[in-house]
Amino acid sequence: MAIPDYETIMLPLLKFLDDQKEHSTHDAIDHLSNLFNLSEAERRQLLPSGRQTFVYNRVGWARTYLKKAGLLESPSRGYLRITVKGLEVLKGNPSKIDVKFLEQYPEFVAWKETRKTLADEGAWSAKETPEELLELGYQRIRRSLAEELLSLVKKSSPPFFEKIVVELLLKMGYGGSLRDAGEAIGRTGDEGIDGIIKEDRLGLDTIYVQAKRWEGTVGRPEIHKFVGALQGQRAKKGIFITTSSFSNDAKEYASRIDTKVVLIDGEKLAELMVDNDVGVSRLANYEIKKVDSDYFAEE
């Protein structure tokens, strides 16, 4: 079953607290995960930031909305309890509780009006939580940026493409100095890059690098020739970079051979450029903060 949105969670969460006892948030999450028959993979599925699960985030927002409407309360950190108002709601046997339902409570409306929407007024009725909307927006911006970068890389000249790869490898910790990397890469003068680069700044090992600005799919024969070149150089490691993509046959072959060969396609190349600030500049930084409950815990 798909992970329910935070509005779908509201009524089951309130029903879970119907015994009027204090329950921990983690117990509520376990109960709701079982109620919705979530698989282990769904229970562990993380937001794009990797810092929180979808289930935890959505239960957390269902809890926040119910609290702002006065239907439940937090008697202590990490614990929940239904209120008299919440019990009255359950006695009415509602078919569902959502944002529209909660708008009958003035305190919820007042809280809602003090907050800024993420995009427009419709964002408040979206099925995603505010964090999810922010994450999704970030991912869309990132994908668009990567697509634009890859388009520019494909149009660049061979020398400039060489410069891109050199700078990227240096940013990732390879190649020693810019001069070392520049001398090691781009020595063949073909429509790509062919050369050797240091694996670390001390030069304890070397990596054979080949990069091609191709439009078509790179197949197994090209990888086979690359591996042959590695063996001719007595090299144990290699990186094959392309602005296009690799065939499934090429990927399978690279995964089965003893020589360690890393395949970087155009999409991955653009992602690495974004991650390592190559060809991009920072536009803005946003910090997401939360209340520090420990700060307000009185001795």
**pLDDT tens digit sequence for 285-298:** 777 777 776 777 65
Assign residue 163 the CATH number of its domain. Answer: 3.40.1340.10
Beta strands per DSSP E along 114-203: 192-198
Which carries the bigger pLDDT value, residue 197 or residue 74? 74
298 part of a folded domain: no
130 part of a folded domain: no
pLDDT computed for residue 1 by the predictor:
64
CA 37 – CA 31 distance, rounded (Å): 10
**Average of pLDDT values for 269-289?**
86
What are 79's strand-pairing partners?
24
The total of structural domains in the chain comes to 2
Are 45 and 84 contained in the same domain? yes
Q: How would residue 16 be classed by pLDDT, with cut points 50, 70 and 90?
A: very high
Are 203 and 253 contained in the same domain? yes
Are 161 and 86 contained in the same domain? no
pLDDT computed for residue 4 by the predictor:
93
**Average of pLDDT values for 31-44?**
94
The 10s digit of each residue's pLDDT in 80-132 is: 999 999 999 999 999 999 999 999 999 998 878 765 444 444 444 456 777 77
Q: What is the mean pLDDT of the chain?
A: 82
Which carries the bigger pLDDT value, residue 47 or residue 63? 63
pLDDT computed for residue 213 by the predictor:
82
Q: What percent of the chain has pLDDT over 90?
A: 39
- List all residues 6 or more positions away from 31 whose beta carbon is below 8 Å from its beta carbon: 16
Residue type for position 111: W
**Average of pLDDT values for 37-59?**
88
Asked if residue 20 has pLDDT above 90, the reply is: yes
Are 37 and 109 contained in the same domain? yes
- For 83-121, b where at least 16 C-beta lie within 10 A, e where not — what string? beebeebbeeeeeebbbebbeebeebeebbeeeeebeee
pLDDT computed for residue 143 by the predictor:
82
pLDDT computed for residue 227 by the predictor:
87
pLDDT computed for residue 185 by the predictor:
56
pLDDT computed for residue 174 by the predictor:
79
Residue 135: count of CB within 10 angstroms of its CB: 18
The 10s digit of each residue's pLDDT in 126-172 is: 567 777 777 777 887 888 788 888 888 888 888 888 788 888 888 88
Which carries the bigger pLDDT value, residue 226 or residue 32? 32
Q: Domain containing 110: what range? A: 6-124
pLDDT computed for residue 189 by the predictor:
43
281 part of a folded domain: no
299 part of a folded domain: no
| Inter-residue contact 132 to 49 (CB < 8 Å) | no
- For 66-78, b where at least 16 C-beta lie within 10 A, e where not — what string? bbbbbbbbeeeee
